[in-house]
Amino acid sequence: EVQLVESGGGLVQPGGSLRLSCEASGFTFSTYWMNWVRQDPEKGLVWVSRINSDGSSTDYPDSVKGRFTISRDNAKNTLYLQMNSLRVEDTAVYYCVRNAYYFDYWGQGNLVTVSS
Amino acid sequence: EIVLTQSPATLSVSPGERATLSCRASQSVSSNLAWYQQQPGQAPRLLIYDASTRATGIPARFSGSGSGTEFTLTISSLQSEDFAVYYCQQYTSWPKAFGQGTKVEI
């Protein structure tokens, strides 16, 4: 059974940093592209980063480029999202999501709240 | 950047009825479109990909159609567990965009 278990969310002040982790199991992690997608009531579902299977290529939308960094450790079956210079508008539930095109498996979600 | 517009925003139907949801793309996405279902407090679940292919374990009452810029998700006979929010998503180009969702309610 495919499982994606996120951790690392919480409350952080504007300008602060946070690192999300996603531990994968039930499939060969090292052969899949992975993504982070966030959801908030105003903007809905928004893709925020992707990484290819060996970690050599990443991509971000303009809204987070230069502030967020996606990475992976295939030996540990774990995906990461390092979030720096956080803004109030980054407040959302963050999902770890599998696959390169359509998203076939999602983690349970991890709430990140940016507030003073 | 491709924009997806879903309609209606809310669809009120009764159990056993047919529901038809629409997703329109601002430019052609070929058949690179997926549909997701989200129950309250849960992560989205993949229903349909490649516009018309059901994902693993998805009941046959869910069907997708369309190509280019116009797409439809049909639920042939609504069950109680189908009342949820549905999103479309394109994967023709980056950034991958989602529609704003259609809420199917009783």
Q: What is the pLDDT of residues A85-114, one digit of tens each?
A: 999 999 999 999 998 899 999 999 999 999
Do residues B66 and B33 lie in contact, with contact meaning Cβ atoms separated by under 8 Å?
yes
Do residues B6 and B102 lie in contact, with contact meaning Cβ atoms separated by under 8 Å?
yes
Please give the average per-residue pLDDT across B93-102, as a whole number. 91
Q: Please report, rounded to a whole number, the percentage of residues in chain B having pLDDT higher than 90.
A: 94
Tokens of B34: 């997926």
Q: To the nearest whole angstrom, how far is the Cα of A2 from the nearest Cα of chain B?
A: 12
- pLDDT tens digits along B29-53: 999 999 999 999 999 999 999 999 9
Residues of chain B contacting A45 with CB distance shorter than 8 Å: 44, 87, 89, 98, 101
Q: Position B69: which residue type? A: T
E strand residue ranges, chain A: 3-7, 10-12, 18-25, 34-40, 44-51, 58-59, 68-73, 78-83, 92-98, 105-106, 110-114
- pLDDT tens digits along A28-47: 999 999 999 999 888 899 99
Would the CA dihedral through A59, A62, A67, A68 be positive or negative?
Answer: negative
Grade residue B94 by pLDDT with cuts at 50, 70 and 90. Answer: confident
In this complex, do B49 and A102 lie within 8 Å of one another by their Cβ atoms?
yes
Give the whole-angstrom CA distance, residue A56 versus residue A45: 26
What are phi and psi for residue A79, nearest 5 degrees? -110, 145
- The pLDDT assigned to B37 comes to 98
